[in-house]
């Protein structure tokens, strides 16, 4: 019973993913996006003192990605994948991934400006791709933590004296 529950939320069936070429490309894409933000519009990046806000930083970089991946890729996308329509592909992605990503954007719209909320759509599709590809949430969780860490660390770097 526990194994079934773990599988339903994407926590069962771990297999190494860190050497996967697509995973490596997703890591590289994160760096490219950070550098583009840095060059194009550094004022858009969040700035805060890491030493004064360690709990906030840990929440943004580890806590929120863990909770979001468990909920969105684990529970929501996991349940959508079980539906007959969820596994059907549209534009090269499962409908489960597409719908989960739309819900992910809507969830971010509650506490971000509209453009920032929309900005999470593509990363969400990437996270969902790995949920579908691997069958668990470990690669999407690792990417989510990595993307958030780079984003907030770059904002910190820009705000340094």
Per-residue pLDDT reduced to its tens digit, 86-142: 889 899 899 999 999 999 999 999 988 888 889 899 999 999 999 999 999 999 999
pLDDT of 161 higher than 50: no
- Report residue 160's pLDDT band, with 50, 70 and 90 as the boundaries: very low
Average pLDDT over residues 44-58: 71
pLDDT at 159: 47
pLDDT at 158: 47
pLDDT of 1 higher than 80: no
First to last CA, the chain: 54
107's tokens: 């969830």
Per-residue pLDDT reduced to its tens digit, 29-43: 999 988 887 777 666
Q: Give me the chain's average pLDDT, please.
A: 86
Per-residue pLDDT reduced to its tens digit, 135-149: 999 999 999 999 998
Task: Please report, for the chain, the start and end positions of each structural domain, with discontinuous segments joined by +.
Answer: 1-154
Residue listed under structure tokens 């990363």 = 123
Q: Distance between CA 6 and CA 16 in Å, rounded?
A: 17
- Report residue 47's pLDDT band, with 50, 70 and 90 as the boundaries: low
78's tokens: 């996991």
pLDDT of 16 higher than 60: yes
pTM of the model: 0.87
Q: Quick one: which of 147, 161, 151 has its CA closest to 28?
A: 147
């Amino acid at each position: 019973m526990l194994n079934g529950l773990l599988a339903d939320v994407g926590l069962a069936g771990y297999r190494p993913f860190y050497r996967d070429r697509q995973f490596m490309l997703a890591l590289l894409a994160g760096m490219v996006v950070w550098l583009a933000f840095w060059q194009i519009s550094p004022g858009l990046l969040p700035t805060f003192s890491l030493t004064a806000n360690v709990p906030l930083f840990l929440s943004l970089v580890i806590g929120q990605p863990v909770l979001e991946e468990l909920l969105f890729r684990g529970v929501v996308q996991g349940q959508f994948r079980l539906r007959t329509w969820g596994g059907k592909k549209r534009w090269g992605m499962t409908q489960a991934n597409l719908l989960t990503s739309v819900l992910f954007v809507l969830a971010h719209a509650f506490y971000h400006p509209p453009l920032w909320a929309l900005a999470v759509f593509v990363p969400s599709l990437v996270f969902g791709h790995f949920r579908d590809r691997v069958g668990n949430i470990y690669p999407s969780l690792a990417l989510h933590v990595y993307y958030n860490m780079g984003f907030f660390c770059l904002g910190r770097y820009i705000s340094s004296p």
